[in-house]
Amino acid sequence: MAKKHRILIIDDSEPTIAGLEAYLGGKYHILTALNGRDGIRIFEKNEKRIHLVLTDLILPDLAGSDLVSLIKNRTPEKPVIGMTGWEYDPEGFEFKLNADLMLKKPFEMEELDLALEKLISKMHTKKIRSRATPKKTQVIIPDFIEHITKSIFM
């Protein structure tokens, strides 16, 4: 099978990255980062080529929640899976972080594989729908925008 999807894995644990890369590397192109700042740099450089981000939530240099927010604000359609070894309420955490899915470490690789397939498939379905549905044209009045900007920043 040809590798056609690219996944960015961000985790400060080298053994975790090595294990994920070994398991997923036969099926996906894998990019890795050992901290949040490197993860952001790699994401920004390869944004259009990355299909999904898998990130630890506890990183030494950046809160995982900030990383998830940055990615989702920049590319809301891009799936993000958060991983953590901490106790949490999965639904509450996903909602709070705006992550597409949360995985509690340790997790089964098969569980991760199914989640990746589901989220990537869902992402492609959204792209097909958005191409098929014409977007409504939005008229923006420049004077109104200027007025709002001045009132907020002055």
The pLDDT value recorded for residue 119 is: 94
Strand order of the β-sheet with 80-84 is 29-33, 6-10, 52-56, 80-84, 101-104
pTM, to two decimals? 0.76
The pLDDT value recorded for residue 97 is: 66
Reduce the DSSP state of residue 27 to 3 states and report it.
Answer: coil
- Least Cα distance to 71 among 59, 61, 83, 82 occurs for 82
CB atoms within 10 A of CB 15: 8
Q: Is the pLDDT of residue 94 over 70?
A: no
The pLDDT value recorded for residue 112 is: 93
Taking residues 59-71, what's their average pLDDT? 89
Give residue for tokens 């597409």. 100
Asked whether 62 and 12 are in contact (CB, 8 A), the reply is no
> Which residue ranges form the domains of the chain, and what is each CATH number?
6-153 (3.40.50.2300)
Q: How confident is the model at residue 87 (pLDDT cuts 50, 70, 90)?
A: low
Q: Is the pLDDT of residue 99 over 90?
A: no
Query: Nearest-5° angle of CA 7, CA 63, CA 95?
Result: 75
Q: Is the pLDDT of residue 103 over 50?
A: yes
Taking residues 13-35, what's their average pLDDT? 96
* φ/ψ of residue 9, rounded to 5: -110, 125
Asked whether 77 and 50 are in contact (CB, 8 A), the reply is no
Reduce the DSSP state of residue 141 to 3 states and report it.
Answer: coil
The pLDDT value recorded for residue 96 is: 56
- Which residue intervals of the chain are DSSP H helices? 14-24, 36-46, 64-74, 90-97, 109-132, 142-153
Could you give the angle at which helices 36-46 and 64-74 cross, rounded to 10 degrees? Answer: 10
